[in-house]
Structure 1
Amino acid sequence: MSFMKDPKRSKFDVEPGLASPLDVAAGTAERETLAMVAEALKLRRTRLAFQPAVYAADPSIIGFYEGFIRLLDSRDRVIPAREFMGVTERQELGREIDCAALQMGLMTLQRNPGVRVAVNMSARSVGYKRWTALLRQALKQAPELGACLILEINEASAMQVPDVLLPFMAEMREAGIVFSLDDFGAAGTSLGLLRDFQFEIAKIDGMFIRHIDSNAENQPVVRSAIAIARELGMFLVAEAVETDAEANWLRDAGVGCLQGYLFGAPTVTPDFAAFRKGRTKV
């Protein structure tokens, strides 16, 4: 009886079950980044960078500002959000990031009466006691803040916990808060849930906006998003607008607000007085 010999193994083969050097390096880098994020939150090395969203019909008028959280390392350098946002989404650290963003957003509204600010959040934070306590306490002390606050929720996040999110949205609408659906069209959308959520604002993901004036593949996608938004009564905002040609196409297609570097980069020192420019005093 003969047996086949095992093929000769390369010296570069990795034993089954052992992580490759690249995996180990990636895991180490991830842990180091999360440690920096945790330290930044603990030491309050946090900022909000504000970017205006302007009316497509008249870009001189700002509809609202979106506040993007910035976490700083020990040398005051910004920790890239792409390196930790996806990892922290399901962790308590992600909820603490949302707490920091909400707290700074509410403080901004207190210091700048009448300005409208959108604060990003995960739908999972609705079940996080510290986050909801921050929001309810602020509304109790200053009920007028509700009419100036927009809570922006990522589409994928919203679709995962509808049973928790729907009653929360109903409660907060009583306080005047408006809800924005972020990354509209980027995830698998349930039209039934979208109808039930009744988001007041929908933001078309920037991946569909770049070169929209000449991109024949994305134009039907954006037109479809506009049609769905209109049917569901959502005010539409386009993200990542960088050229006049993109802005003109989006305006002609019926998008209500435009946001992107064409109209201003995110900054931690915004001129909130510009928000009142072109507005009639009530």
Structure 2
Amino acid sequence: MSQTRLHPTPAGDDDFADPLQYAFASRDADTPQLVSRALDRGQAKLAFQPIVMAADPARTAFHEGLIRLLDDAGRVIPAANFMPQVTNTEIGRRIDVLTLDLALRMLRQNPAMRLSVNVSARSLGDWRWRQTLEAGLAERGALGERLIFEISEASAMMLHEVVMHFMQDMQPRGVAFALDGFGGGMTAFRHLKDFFFDMVKVDKTFVKGIAGDPDNQVLVEALVTVAHQFEMFAIVEGVENAQDARWLQGIPVDCMQGYHFGAPRFEIDDLVRVALP
């Protein structure tokens, strides 16, 4: 006698034998619709992760604001389920606009805060994103002096002329820039010296377990040396334990970020502003 399924499985997939697996698979399949609906309704928050001073990890240099989109029940839609697919699309531009708008609101409400947010190089020419930025920079409170844009290595190298021109326009207005994922992609060093990055964030793939990994130690030291040679602040992300943190302090790096110092949270307690070089 054939067995009848209590719940239909997604087309072409017979691996979901229990309702819980099916529920997760169905939700993943609906992710594009969930993302679009969240954007339409403004269902989003920033989660804040501290970037601490390596010389004194008790001091927070600034926070990174990470966008979190919410479904109709208020649950976070996993970014890994959609960000890689939407970065270069219209949805990616809308996410960048919403992220910037939330960041500017946070800076208005917290005059002691310094905040970084991610942006794709493709959004730098988007009229909605630029309009949001210009409106924020025109306000009182020197928002630009407390705003940092993180641009991924791949994005910056793909549209390096666009990024360079934008930096030339923005840095006189106090905006700072961080090269995200430094060393994890295809950085063209002939372009690096022409950029105006204030800081780099060393790719976290080199950091996990670095205290016991001589190969990654050499790579991270080299990347930090390059950053300092170009007069850029060196931040190492993905620090997850005390052993790795202690090793990194001895290079020395300038700042560290990772779950060892704090996970991304919707609420933040410490807003002491540290003056960065």
- Residue pair 1:148, 1:177 contacting (<8 A) in 2 also: yes
Matched residues in 2 for 1:142 and 1:179: separation?
Answer: 21
In the TM superposition, structure 1's runs of 4+ consecutive aligned residues that sit over 2 Å from their partners are: 28-32
- Residue pair 2:108, 2:141 contacting (<8 A) in 1 also: no
Q: CA deviation at 1:21?
A: 3.4
Query: Given residue 241 of structure 2, which amino acid in structure 1 is its aligned partner?
Result: T
Query: Given residue 60 of structure 2, which amino acid in structure 1 is its aligned partner?
Result: I
Corresponding residue number in structure 2 for 1:209: 207
Corresponding residue number in structure 2 for 1:275: 271
- Residue pair 1:63, 1:275 contacting (<8 A) in 2 also: no
Matched residues in 2 for 1:195 and 1:244: separation?
Answer: 33
> Is residue 195 from structure 1 mapped to residue 193 from structure 2 by the alignment?
yes
Aligned residue runs from structure 1 range 23-102, under 5 A:
32-102=30-100
Query: Given residue 275 of structure 1, which amino acid in structure 2 is its aligned partner?
Result: L
Corresponding residue number in structure 2 for 1:108: 106
Aligned residue runs from structure 1 range 1-282, under 5 A:
21=12, 32-142=30-140, 144-271=142-269, 274-276=270-272
Matched residues in 2 for 1:142 and 1:85: separation?
Answer: 33
Structure 2: any 5+ residue segments left out of the alignment?
1-10, 14-25
- Residue pair 1:184, 1:205 contacting (<8 A) in 2 also: yes
- Residue pair 1:143, 1:175 contacting (<8 A) in 2 also: no
Helix, strand or coil at the partner of 1:97 = helix
Matched residues in 2 for 1:253 and 1:80: separation?
Answer: 35
Query: Given residue 34 of structure 1, which amino acid in structure 2 is its aligned partner?
Result: P
Q: Deviations over 1:206-260 (max 9, x none)?
A: 1111001001221111011011101111101111111111111111011100111
Query: Given residue 21 of structure 1, which amino acid in structure 2 is its aligned partner?
Result: G
Helix, strand or coil at the partner of 2:58 = coil
Matched residues in 2 for 1:141 and 1:63: separation?
Answer: 24
Q: CA deviation at 1:114?
A: 2.5
Helix, strand or coil at the partner of 1:226 = helix
After TM superposition, the score normalised by the length of structure 2 is: 0.88
Matched residues in 2 for 1:270 and 1:147: separation?
Answer: 20
User: Structure 1 residues 159 and 121 mapped into 2: Cα distance closer, same or farther (>3 Å)?
Assistant: same
Matched residues in 2 for 1:233 and 1:143: separation?
Answer: 28
- Residue pair 1:61, 1:275 contacting (<8 A) in 2 also: no
Corresponding residue number in structure 1 for 2:16: none
Query: Given residue 173 of structure 1, which amino acid in structure 2 is its aligned partner?
Result: Q
Matched residues in 2 for 1:62 and 1:148: separation?
Answer: 14
Matched residues in 1 for 2:95 and 2:140: separation?
Answer: 23
Matched residues in 2 for 1:32 and 1:197: separation?
Answer: 40
Q: Deviations over 1:154-178 (max 9, x none)?
A: 1101111112111111111011000
Helix, strand or coil at the partner of 2:101 = helix
- Residue pair 2:164, 2:196 contacting (<8 A) in 1 also: no
Q: Deviations over 1:138-161 (max 9, x none)?
A: 111236001000011111011111
Matched residues in 2 for 1:142 and 1:207: separation?
Answer: 40
After TM superposition, the score normalised by the length of structure 1 is: 0.86
Query: Given residue 185 of structure 1, which amino acid in structure 2 is its aligned partner?
Result: G
Helix, strand or coil at the partner of 2:57 = coil
Q: CA deviation at 1:125?
A: 0.3
Helix, strand or coil at the partner of 1:68 = strand
Matched residues in 1 for 2:74 and 2:28: separation?
Answer: 19
Structure 1: any 5+ residue segments left out of the alignment?
1-19, 23-27
